[in-house]
Structure 1
Amino acid sequence: MEFIWEAPTEAETIAFANALAQLVGPGTVLAVDGDLGAGKTRFAQAFAAAIGVPGIVNSPTYTIIKEYVGRALPFYHMDVYRLSLAEADELGLDEYFHGEGVTLVEWASIIQQILPLERLHIRIETTGPVSRKIICSPVGQKYEEWCRQLERKQLEHVTRRNRQHESKHK
């Protein structure tokens, strides 16, 4: 199963982050991949805002992990680009995956072997200067159900957007 959210604008990427944020709970793991500049950190920032993390969320490229306090859940933002699998394993990053918060891992495919058995893999692809294709591959039943819910939310979002567009042009 795979779910695709087309994001022709940055606002649509933010809409996806908002929709996803409504589903998460303790122990959620979002494994995010994409080329350099695809928008992984921008997505992480939008997601963090959607779960109530105040202030600025920066890429943890050099610090590897940053912890934030969200409205209802802690947010653990990881960037493992500069790590080997062995280094990630030694750092005990996997302890965050089963914690009280939501973990978002940028460049997750690098540490795929230590990711939890259940997770939502999100691949962000650049399709234009600001447009993105967000491909969700669920691993586990919970995340499969989330993709079905995201599909419904996307349909509702697109319908609402089209209605707004039509009402502006009448």
Structure 2
Amino acid sequence: MASGTFGAPVRSRLQVTLGAPPAPPPGLRPFTGADVAPLAAAMWAAYRGTPDETDVGDLLGAAREIRLTLDGEYGAFLPGASFVADHGDRPVGAALVTFYKEDPLLAFLFTAPAHAGRGLGRALVKASMHALAGQGHATLSLAVTRRNRRARRLYDRLGFIEIA
């Protein structure tokens, strides 16, 4: 969400219309409560050094953001549309989806840097899109920092467009 605070990141709101996206690739699984601590480490690693670093702040802040998401701070958490990517026996990325202001919202998407560039972010978003379409939802929205070019390229390739 856009912020007028000096120094705070300015965000764009993006949205994609859900059709019948292909089934997500194998290797993803639904989010579980046991994922909070290991995903906090992946989230902090993913946010560190990016335009969104101040949103998380540190490892404890990442865990707090994940808990707030589960507790409904950004809308009702949708576990049936939230997915985790594992490497070996540990989570390395996630798409956390909520139901915010009458629409599904991709509240968080992140991949640990050691696993970036392998298509995990794309696969996670597609898994969420597929699940939401199957649940009868028509759109998926998100807020992205305007300076986060890497994320914006991903969302553009997935068909998201900027909305007012």
Instruction: Compute the TM-score of the two structures, normalised by the length of structure 1.
Output: 0.32
User: TM (normalized to structure 2)?
Assistant: 0.32
